[in-house]
Amino acid sequence: MPGKTWSTPVTAEPSQVIPCILCGGDRLKPYLGCEGFCYRRCTECGLVQMNPQPLAAEVARRYQEAHGDDYLAYELANEKNFLQLQELALADAGFAALEQDLLAQGRPVILDVGCATGALLETLRERGWETTGVEICTPAQRYARQVRNLDVRGLPLEANQFPSQTFDVVLASHLIEHLNDPRAFVREVYRILVPGGYFLLTTPNIGGFQARLFQNQWRSAIFDHLFLFSVKTLSPLLTSSGFAVVKVCTWGGLAAGTAPQGIKRIFDSAAKRFGFGDVMLIKGRRLAGLPV
């Protein structure tokens, strides 16, 4: 059984039952029972969500006071590996061609929401991008600013009040599943992107093979993940908020250590080809106007 992703420890926090953020429905059926928390699935649209849900202020506190330093240590220990994974994901999403186009026109502007220690932003800056980051974890934010001299602000994204139509590209890797209100986040990204700008969103895929196999032991079924999206539930969130979904990729077939390398390789490539990978990336393009 593979280990779960790092998470802040489960504690009893004030929580509330909320309507489904995708369709507004309130008919939710228990889906995955974990120790100390529970995911429910909306019977209308299929979105899997932690519900009742911890309050936003409690969620914000986790990464600051009690566990901020732990989170920074986790990010630093895995920095090289995470950067490599992010770059592979961007490559699959056709980022190189997009980058080439934008750099040919001048100095493009990019925002990385949930940028952690800023490793990716640093490489983007070296390649000619004007970079800004947003990070909720105060020690990680400080690290990115002081060690890498990056412009990194606090979360939530909305609190920064970036001017409308500022960014050519917005990235959010393993971020949206942590948010209390993913719809408000996607709307804010729409507002701050230039028309035609790109939104590249990476998140665990509950429609993937590993989620189906491991159920409540799936590595992404953790206390910090408030929403577990699939391609079927993430795409409508984007399209109903003014984006066209222009590309979807998934990858990761078998968890490391669960099968011999050769089998894992075959399985990983099948997962990528047929869309049942453990992590997915959705590339959205901001349309000129919001849907009516």
**In the complex, which residues of this chain contact Zn ion (CB under 5 A)?**
20, 22-23, 25, 42, 44-45, 47
By beta-carbon proximity to Zn ion, the closer residue of 199 and 227 is 227
By beta-carbon proximity to Zn ion, the closer residue of 44 and 79 is 44
By beta-carbon proximity to Zn ion, the closer residue of 42 and 72 is 42
**Would you mind telling me the total number of residues written for the chain in this entry?**
292
In whole angstroms, the minimum distance from the beta carbon of 24 to Zn ion comes to: 7
In whole angstroms, the minimum distance from the beta carbon of 252 to Zn ion comes to: 26
By beta-carbon proximity to Zn ion, the closer residue of 25 and 106 is 25
By beta-carbon proximity to Zn ion, the closer residue of 231 and 271 is 231
In whole angstroms, the minimum distance from the beta carbon of 176 to Zn ion comes to: 16
In whole angstroms, the minimum distance from the beta carbon of 177 to Zn ion comes to: 16
In whole angstroms, the minimum distance from the beta carbon of 46 to Zn ion comes to: 7
